[in-house]
């Protein structure tokens, strides 16, 4: 029996620019073991725009609300470096698996933590 795909939410999934738009999301949409189920940006209007652009029904402008979504198995953090640490820690504390772009934090202390 084939395993269900991992359900992924991407924080930083802008429809206009960035690593998520240009690399991460296109890859996730092509990989059979993953299903993109949610996108999150910092603003409600851009979250809705990204949802339409990527063909995803769940959009969020508050990552903590997205993290409370029981449908998510994995969170991909694809934002500017100063925000990697807080978003990654929040996702881990919500019990989600996390993929974070490098570096894990803005400094060595954050990365070690």
pLDDT digits (tens, 9 = 90+) for 64-88: 999 998 789 999 999 998 889 999 9
pLDDT digits (tens, 9 = 90+) for 35-75: 999 999 999 999 999 999 999 999 999 999 999 987 899 99
Give the number of other CB atoms < 10 A from CB of residue 14: 23
For 31-35, which contacts have Cβ atoms below 8 Å and span 24 or more sequence positions?
32/5, 33/3, 33/5, 33/6, 34/5, 34/6, 34/8, 34/74, 35/5, 35/6, 35/7, 35/8
Secondary structure letter of residue 53 according to DSSP: H
Asked if the model's pLDDT at residue 34 lies above 70, the reply is yes
Dist CA 110 CA 29 (whole Å)? 31
């Amino acid at each position: 029996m084939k395993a269900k795909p991992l359900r992924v939410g991407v924080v930083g999934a802008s429809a206009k620019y960035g690593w998520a738009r240009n690399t991460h999301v296109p890859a996730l949409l092509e990989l059979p073991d993953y299903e993109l189920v949610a996108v999150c940006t910092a603003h409600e209007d851009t979250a809705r725009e990204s949802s339409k652009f990527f063909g995803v029904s769940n959009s969020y402008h508050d990552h903590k609300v997205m993290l409370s979504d029981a449908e998510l198995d994995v969170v991909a953090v694809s934002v500017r470096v100063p925000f990697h640490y807080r978003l990654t820690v929040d996702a881990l504390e919500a019990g989600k698996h996390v993929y974070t772009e490098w570096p894990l934090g803005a400094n060595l202390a954050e990365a070690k933590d």
